[in-house]
Amino acid sequence: MPDSHFYITTPIYYVNDQPHIGHAYTTILADVLARYHRLLDVPTWFLTGTDEHGQKVQEAAVRNGLTPIEQCDRTVVRFQDLWKKLEITHDDFIRTTEERHKTMVRKALQELYDRGEIYGADYEGWYCVPCERFFMEKDLAAGGVCPDCKRAVQKLVERNYFFKMSKYQAWLIEHIEQHPEFIQPAHRRQETLGFLRQPLTDLCISRPKSRLAWGIELPFDANYVTYVWFDALMNYVTAVGYGADPATFAKWWPASYHLIGKDILTTHTVYWPTMLKALGVALPRSIFAHGWWLVGRDKMSKSLGNVVNPMAMCEQYGVDAFRYFLMAEMSLGNDASFTEESFINRYNSDLANDLGNLGSRVIKMVHRFLGGTFTAPVAPGTDEAELVKVTAAAIESMQRHLTSMQLERGIADVLAAVREGNRYFDKMAPWTLAKQGKTAELQRVLYSAAECLRIVSGLLYPVMPGKMTELRRALGLAGDEIEPHMATLGAWGGLPAGRTLSDVPPLFPRIEKTELKAEPGTERQTETTAKTAKTTDKNPAVVHELIEIADFAKVSLKTAKILTAEPVPDANKLLKLLVDLGTEKRQIVAGIATFYTPEQLVGKTIVVVANLKPAQLRGVESQGMLLAAKSGKELRLLTLDGDLPPGASIG
Ligand code: MSP
Each residue of 24-47: pLDDT tens digit?
999 999 999 999 999 999 999 999
Q: Is 101 in the pocket of ligand 1 (CB under 6 A)?
A: no
CATH 2.40.50.140 positions along the chain are: 549-650
Q: Which of 357, 129, 341 is nearest to 228 (CA)?
A: 129
Residues 35 and 462: beta-carbon distance below 8 Å: yes
User: Which carries the bigger pLDDT value, residue 498 or residue 110?
Assistant: 110
For residue 520, pLDDT over 80 is answered with: no
Q: Where are the beta strands (DSSP E) in 262-317?
A: 286-290, 293-295
Q: What is the pLDDT of residue 364?
A: 95
Q: How far apart are the first and last CA of the chain?
A: 53
Mutation test residue for ligand 1: of 95, 234, 263, the one with most atoms within 8 Å of CB: 263
Using CA atoms, how far residue 79 sits from 82, 212, 309, 319, 404, in Å, is 5, 25, 12, 15, 29
User: Which carries the bigger pLDDT value, residue 204 or residue 599?
Assistant: 204
CATH 1.10.730.10 positions along the chain are: 339-489
Using CA atoms, how far residue 118 sits from 79, 112, 163, 214, in Å, is 34, 6, 4, 21
Q: Is 249 in the pocket of ligand 1 (CB under 6 A)?
A: no
Q: Is 232 in the pocket of ligand 1 (CB under 6 A)?
A: yes
Mutation test residue for ligand 1: of 264, 300, 326, the one with most atoms within 8 Å of CB: 264
**DSSP classification of residue 373:** B
Amino acid at 77: V
| CATH code for the structural domain at 339-489 | 1.10.730.10
Mutation test residue for ligand 1: of 20, 26, 131, the one with most atoms within 8 Å of CB: 26
- The continuous run of DSSP H or E covering 343 comes out as helix 340-346
Task: Tell which atom from ligand 1 comes closest to the C-alpha of 262.
Answer: 19
In whole angstroms, give the CA distance from residue 92 to residue 81: 15
Q: What is the pLDDT of residue 523?
A: 47
Q: What number is the average pLDDT over the span 337-349?
A: 95
Residues 224 and 158: beta-carbon distance below 8 Å: no
Rg (CA), the chain: 29
Q: What is the pLDDT of residue 572?
A: 80
Q: Is 218 in the pocket of ligand 1 (CB under 6 A)?
A: no
Residues 230 and 205: beta-carbon distance below 8 Å: yes
Q: What is the pLDDT of residue 529?
A: 26
188 Cβ contact list (under 8 Å, min separation 6): 262, 265, 269, 289, 333
Band of pLDDT at residue 526, cut at 50, 70 and 90: very low
Q: What is the 3-state secondary structure (H, E, C) of 244-270?
A: CCHHHHHHHCCCCEEEEEHHHHHHHHH
Q: What is the pLDDT of residue 135?
A: 87
In whole angstroms, give the CA distance from residue 573 to residue 105: 54
Q: What is the pLDDT of residues 463-518, one digit of tens each?
A: 999 999 999 999 999 999 999 999 899 999 999 989 999 887 789 999 987 655 55
Protein residue with its CA nearest to atom 7 in ligand 1: 13
Band of pLDDT at residue 537, cut at 50, 70 and 90: very low
Global pTM value = 0.79
For residue 548, pLDDT over 70 is answered with: no
Band of pLDDT at residue 275, cut at 50, 70 and 90: very high
Q: What is the pLDDT of residue 550?
A: 57
Ligand 1 center to 139 CA (angstroms): 22
Give pairs for 342-346: CB < 8 Å, separation 24+: 343/313, 343/317, 344/511, 344/513, 344/516, 346/631
For residue 437, pLDDT over 80 is answered with: yes
Task: Tell which atom from ligand 1 comes closest to the C-alpha of 232.
Answer: 6
Band of pLDDT at residue 289, cut at 50, 70 and 90: very high
Task: Tell which atom from ligand 1 comes closest to the C-alpha of 263.
Answer: 19
Q: What is the pLDDT of residue 540?
A: 25
- Tell me the β-bridge partners of 118: 163
Q: Provide, rounded to the nearest whole percent, the portion of the chain with pLDDT above 90.
A: 72
Q: What is the pLDDT of residue 551?
A: 59
215 Cβ contact list (under 8 Å, min separation 6): 53, 54, 207, 225, 226, 227, 228, 231
Q: What number is the average pLDDT over the span 295-319?
A: 90
User: Which carries the bigger pLDDT value, residue 343 or residue 614?
Assistant: 343
State in words which class domain 549-650 has.
Answer: mainly beta
Helix, strand, or coil (residue 482): coil
Q: Is 263 in the pocket of ligand 1 (CB under 6 A)?
A: yes
Residues 490 and 458: beta-carbon distance below 8 Å: no
Interaxial angle between packed helices 407-428 and 385-403, expressed in degrees from 0 to 180 and rounded to the nearest 10: 170
φ, ψ of residue 611 in degrees (nearest 5): -115, 35
